[in-house]
């Protein structure tokens, strides 16, 4: 199973963000990707740099105006506010009536939902190559590979069609799923990151050709809030093609695996011909953002069950932060998946 990664993804280096009203160190650090990359090398994975597929696959999923806003947004912010200011929105348009302003500070609020996606000098290059990493892994699978792993960083599953959210700028998993539709009639996207795949839900909610399933704690009481409730099952052509499986905070490994089986059953019933996995290791019991209690053997069992679907699969990295077991959990999942598909 080949892996894809580009060192330019390390360029996004946010220092802090605001959580519960307080400034704190930003959890989504370049070191996350370095830990995962080094584990891949130790375990004998072939790591390839992604090809440059341009903006077309990204704009096929995201609002093109949002995509076009990002390349020079940091430079424009620095010109306006100075290099010491934090490039986050400080005003928002509310429920989205109105029009995009021309002022950079107003634009930040228009295209960014929260303080967790501060722009840095290297953000654009990092998010661009994170998306290209997902696209290259997808193309490998579309061209016949049984599976490929995209070490995407920054992650993507909170990014909505027209805004950043929750550490995420481009929704790499949705970009992958949409591109797989060029080859396969029905595609499933399952999200096993501990947080709601709210961006994926937003993007896919009215599509019937991509089935979306997310396992996560109840968004009524756990971030990212707002989307991911059990009664959100899709609209229009997408009615019945979204499935949110809710965990209790503090859920055990067995609880998680039982819900995973439910999601896998739904994927089989949908008749999926290919699979994308939004792969988060923040379900780990010792993750800094922990809410449930999965351990290394649990991640291995998740890999076995997903591999048993016997579908062409793109594994797209999402969360999993700088806890002590990050490398072990990633190794357990990825090496188990690799062995299971041989």
Short-list 125, 81, 127, 126, CA closest to 106:
81
What mean pLDDT do residues 74-93 have?
93
Short-list 245, 158, 142, CA closest to 202:
158
Sign of CA pseudo-dihedral 150, 126, 71, 199: positive
Short-list 227, 192, 199, 185, CA closest to 213:
192
Q: How far apart are CA 306 and CA 169, in angstroms?
A: 27
Superfamily classification of domain 2-63+122-340: Histone deacetylase domain (3.40.800.20)
Q: Which pLDDT belongs to residue 21?
A: 82
Please confirm whether the linkage preceding 154 is cis (ω < 30° from 0).
Answer: yes
b/e code 290-302 from CB counts within 10 Å (16+ = b): bbbbbbbebbbbb
Sign of CA pseudo-dihedral 12, 152, 137, 3: positive
Tokens of residue 245, six digits: 């499986």
Q: Which pLDDT belongs to residue 97?
A: 64
- Asked if pLDDT for residue 138 goes beyond 70, the answer is yes
> Which phi-psi region, left, alpha or beta, contains residue 228 (left: φ > 0; alpha: ψ -120 to 50)?
left
Q: Which pLDDT belongs to residue 139?
A: 98
φ, ψ of residue 247 to 5 degrees: the values are -105, 150
DSSP classification of residue 225: -
DSSP classification of residue 287: S
Give the catalytic positions in this structure.
158
Pairing outcome for strands 16-19 and 22-25: antiparallel
- Asked if pLDDT for residue 173 goes beyond 80, the answer is yes
State the pTM of this model: 0.96
Q: Which pLDDT belongs to residue 34?
A: 98
Q: Show me where the domains of the chain are located.
A: 2-63+122-340
DSSP classification of residue 164: B
- Asked if pLDDT for residue 312 goes beyond 90, the answer is yes
For the chain, the average pLDDT equals 96
Q: Which pLDDT belongs to residue 108?
A: 84
- Asked if pLDDT for residue 154 goes beyond 70, the answer is yes
Residue-wise pLDDT for 269-295, tens only, equals 999 999 999 999 999 999 999 899 999
Using the structure block, give the residue that is written with the tokens 């806890």: 323
Give, for 195, the enclosing helix (H) or strand (E).
none
Residue-wise pLDDT for 98-134, tens only, equals 788 888 888 888 888 899 999 999 999 999 999 999 9
Q: How far apart are CA 218 and CA 249, in angstroms?
A: 8
- Asked if pLDDT for residue 94 goes beyond 80, the answer is no
Pairing outcome for strands 274-279 and 313-317: parallel
* pLDDT confidence bin for 159, thresholds 50/70/90: very high
């Amino acid at each position: 199973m080949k892996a894809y990664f580009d060192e330019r993804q390390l360029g996004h280096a946010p220092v802090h963000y605001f959580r519960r009203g307080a400034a704190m160190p930003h959890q989504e650090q370049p070191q996350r990707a370095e830990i995962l990359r080094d584990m891949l090398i130790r375990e004998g994975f072939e790591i390839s740099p992604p090809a440059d597929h341009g903006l077309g696959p990204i704009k096929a999923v995201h609002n093109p105006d949002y995509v076009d806003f990002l390349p020079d947004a940091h430079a424009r912010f620095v010109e306006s506010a100075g290099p010491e200011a934090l490039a986050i929105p400080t005003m928002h348009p509310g429920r989205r009536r109105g029009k995009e302003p021309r002022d950079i500070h107003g634009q930040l609020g228009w295209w960014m939902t929260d303080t967790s996606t501060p722009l840095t000098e290297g953000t654009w290059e990092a998010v661009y190559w994170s998306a290209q990493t997902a696209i290259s892994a997808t193309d490998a699978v579309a061209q016949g590979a049984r599976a490929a792993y995209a070490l995407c960083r920054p992650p993507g599953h909170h990014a909505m069609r027209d805004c950043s959210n929750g550490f995420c700028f481009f929704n790499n998993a949705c970009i992958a799923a949409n591109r797989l539709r060029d080859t396969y009639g029905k595609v499933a996207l399952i999200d096993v990151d501990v947080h709601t795949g709210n961006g994926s839900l937003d993007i896919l909610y009215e599509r019937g050709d991509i089935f979306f399933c997310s396992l996560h704690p109840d968004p009524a009481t756990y971030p990212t809030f707002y989307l991911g409730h059990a009664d959100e099952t899709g609209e229009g052509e997408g009615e019945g093609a979204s499935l949110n499986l809710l965990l209790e905070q503090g859920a055990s490994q067995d609880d998680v695996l039982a819900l995973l089986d439910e999601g896998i059953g739904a994927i089989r019933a949908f008749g999926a011909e290919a699979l994308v996995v939004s792969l988060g290791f923040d379900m780990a019991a010792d993750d800094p953002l922990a809410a449930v209690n999965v351990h290394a053997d649990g991640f291995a069992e998740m890999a076995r069950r997903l591999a048993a679907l016997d579908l062409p699969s793109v594994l797209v990295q999402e969360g999993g932060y700088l806890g002590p077991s990050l490398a072990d959990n990633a190794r357990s999942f990825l090496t188990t998946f690799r062995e299971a598909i041989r």
